[in-house]
Structure 1
Amino acid sequence: MTTGLSEFFQYNLWANLRLLDACAQLSDAQLDATMIGTFGSVRETLMHLFASEEGYVKSFTGTTPTPPLKELNTFVGFDELRRRAERSGKELITIAEQRDLSETFYLDGGTYEAQAVIVAIQAINHGIDHRSQIATLLSLQGIELPALDSWGYNDALREK
């Protein structure tokens, strides 16, 4: 079922990988800075972002990498985050292209009902929200991230 949603996930993967590339250049102090109103430090937010993305994939497929990021208490490093981001990002693209998004999911141990399309929308929204939080954390330190918005994505597509 083609919905056009896969393009959103292609953008999401591009933005996630671009964010990881930029953050890999930061110092420990920059990665560990926090502020009220954000999820946590850059490291914590990245781990949460990609653990959640694995969870969205699990909602559709029933599978997750071993061990799931959500079970790890320490930062796994940028190479591992990139590998996992590529995996979950590509899986979400495939899901958007091939799955019936009108399917009903029973989440949180069956206590919460939502259509698959809502889970897909949440995955996009969640990524944008946390990338923005990281951008805020870094901008307060005088660090500017590369463009992660749709205009930056369009420019990247045009450069190919």
Structure 2
Amino acid sequence: MHGVLFDSFQHNRWATALLLQTCSQLSEEQLATTVVGSYGNIIATFNHIIRADARYLQHLSGKAPDWLINREETSDFARLQAWAEQAATNWAEFLAMPFDAEQMVTLVTGDYEIHGGALIAQALHHSNIHREQICAILTSLGIEPPDLQPWAYAHETGRGHNREINA
């Protein structure tokens, strides 16, 4: 994977997986909750995040998983987790190959062109925004959301740590 993008995409994978794990413990009523300013309820937002992750890569690579092509959606957390992992693995495989970030990419809809590097930035931004909306829903339910910041990712995965200072 392109060195500078490694942690960005690993953070994306980690944060979605952690939030899915947290929300998989919620009741049906809690999962149906929404708040003003969010995409929709928790399940709808997860479907949107994961499908968009795969769709952005489809724009870049021309390949898409069957569940994206078939426009599938689910409320089953095991399937959501599997789809998120598949999308993350597909991103890792794509980013392991040479890629010209200045290359113009035409979206699948055919109505918009964008530099590949800007589309990659959009993919990461999109996931972060919608995960924060799910965290806002959790907060509205009185549930402490997990810390999804890159700082927490770095600490939990060994990509960062506190320095020992010898006095």
User: What is the TM-score when the length of structure 2 is the normalising length?
Assistant: 0.87
Which whole-Å CA distance do the structure 1 matches of 2:142 and 2:54 have between them? 31
Deviation at 1:69, TM superposition (A): 7.2
Which whole-Å CA distance do the structure 1 matches of 2:142 and 2:69 have between them? 30
User: Would the aligned equivalents of 1:102 and 1:116 in 2 still touch at CA under 8 Å?
Assistant: yes
1:26 is aligned to 2:13:
no
- Aligned letter for 2:129? D
Which whole-Å CA distance do the structure 1 matches of 2:148 and 2:157 have between them? 13
- Aligned letter for 2:143? I
Q: Percent identity?
A: 30
Deviates more, 1:32-41 or 1:75-84: 75-84
Q: Which residue of 1 aligns with 2:77?
A: 78
Deviation at 1:149, TM superposition (A): 0.7
Which whole-Å CA distance do the structure 2 matches of 1:50 and 1:91 have between them? 12
1:52 is aligned to 2:52:
yes
Show structure 1 runs of 5+ residues with no match: none
- Calculate the aligned-residue CA RMSD, in Å: 2.1
Show structure 2 runs of 5+ residues with no match: 161-167
User: What is the TM-score when the length of structure 1 is the normalising length?
Assistant: 0.90
Which whole-Å CA distance do the structure 2 matches of 1:10 and 1:123 have between them? 13
Greater RCO (Cα-Cα under 8 Å, separation 6 or more): 1
- Aligned letter for 1:140? S
Structure 1 segments of 4+ aligned residues over 4 angstroms from their partners = none
Deviates more, 1:7-16 or 1:94-103: 94-103
Q: Which residue of 2 aligns with 1:91?
A: 90
User: Would the aligned equivalents of 1:48 and 1:70 in 2 still touch at CA under 8 Å?
Assistant: no
User: Would the aligned equivalents of 2:102 and 2:117 in 1 still touch at CA under 8 Å?
Assistant: yes
- Give the count of matched residue pairs: 159
User: Would the aligned equivalents of 2:51 and 2:68 in 1 still touch at CA under 8 Å?
Assistant: yes
Deviation at 1:41, TM superposition (A): 0.2
Q: Which residue of 2 aligns with 1:65?
A: 65
Larger radius of gyration: 2
User: Would the aligned equivalents of 1:49 and 1:126 in 2 still touch at CA under 8 Å?
Assistant: yes
CA pair 104-53 structure 1, distance change in 2 beyond 3 A: same
Which whole-Å CA distance do the structure 2 matches of 1:70 and 1:76 have between them? 16
Which whole-Å CA distance do the structure 2 matches of 1:143 and 1:100 have between them? 43
Which whole-Å CA distance do the structure 2 matches of 1:69 and 1:20 have between them? 22
User: Would the aligned equivalents of 1:51 and 1:69 in 2 still touch at CA under 8 Å?
Assistant: no
Q: Which residue of 2 aligns with 1:137?
A: 137
Deviates more, 1:91-100 or 1:55-64: 91-100
